[in-house]
Amino acid sequence: FKGILLNTMRKVTALIASAGAGRRMGMEGKKQYVTLRDKPVVAHTLYQFEECKEINSIILIVPQGEADACRSQIVDRFGFKKIKHIVEGGSERQDSIRNGLEYVTDEEFVLIHDGVRPFVNCEMIRDVLAAAYRNGAAIVGLPVKDTVKRVSISGFVESTVKRDDLWSVQTPQVFRTDWLKQAHKSAFERGFYVTDDSALVEWLGKDVAVVHGLSENIKITTKDDLEIAETILLNRLTPMENLSV
């Protein structure tokens, strides 16, 4: 697939979802602004998309009332050039993505990524883009390794789930823009909410390809995740370290 990207003229915009409240972090402030090596988590994430040439533009989705602060503290501070819009999110993640989609115009594909997954890299971005170019939709994930149990509300095992065809899904996720907009519009009209955008596209009856992700592509939602992220960063110094504070 990678050869497809070298000569493509397709336009891609990245929606970076960074509007979460971060309640599980148990710290003051939003989780995306918690620092890794003195830089906000979301800045590490944005850097990867800023540097990846296959991404034409970025739409950053932030908590309500924080657009101006994010522009000064993140965009201007670190000199990000690809961010075309800073959009305020909604009450749920799905609402936030729908808000961001209103600013997608002529791009053929939309990439969606969690702002608190800072260890995405350009190779992963290219892999999932290539799969989406071929299939119309693609996501990143990993096969489930642990034994999975279905547990009742009362706390007892109901069954052991066969894990051979189970995957744990990550972001980035990439979709044809028309598919994604149609999925969000239909879901909004019906009051249908899911946990990721892939589920909406699947709901339309579209096939979604899956490409292998990385175990270090973690989503930072708790203090334990933050400690793991610090360890990963110690072993993975990137040019982001050279950006001014």
User: Which pLDDT value is given to residue 6?
Assistant: 43
62-76: per-residue pLDDT in tens?
Answer: 999 999 999 999 999
Q: Is the pLDDT of residue 245 over 90?
A: no
β-pairing, 12-17 vs 109-114, is parallel
Q: Where are the alpha helices (DSSP H) in 102-176?
A: 122-135
pTM of the complete model = 0.89
User: pLDDT confidence of 238, banded at 50, 70, 90?
Assistant: low
Average pLDDT over residues 17-26: 69
SS3 of residue 58 by DSSP: strand
Q: Two tokens at 87?
A: 């959009």
Q: What is the mean pLDDT of the chain?
A: 90
User: In this model, does residue 184 exceed pLDDT 60?
Assistant: yes
Q: What percentage of the chain carries pLDDT values higher than 90? A: 81
Beta strands 57-62 and 83-88 are parallel
Which residue in 14, 105, 23 sits closest to 61, CA to CA?
14
**For 17-35, what is the mean pLDDT?**
67
Mean pLDDT calculated for residue range 187-197: 96
Instruction: Specify burial of residue 142 (Cβ count, 10 A radius: 0-12, 13-18, 19+).
Output: middle
How high is the pLDDT of residue 35? 85
Tell me: pLDDT of 226 over 50.
yes
How many Cβ atoms are within 10 Å of 182's Cβ, its own excluded?
15
Q: What is the mean pLDDT of residues 169-177?
A: 98
Q: Has residue 97 got a pLDDT over 90?
A: yes
According to the model, what pLDDT value does residue 132 have?
A: 97
Q: What is the pLDDT of residue 155?
A: 97
Q: What is the pLDDT of residues 100-141, one digit of tens each?
A: 999 999 999 999 999 999 999 999 999 999 999 999 999 999
Gap between the Cα atoms of 190 and 51, Å rounded: 38
Give the confidence band of 234 by pLDDT, cuts at 50, 70, 90.
confident
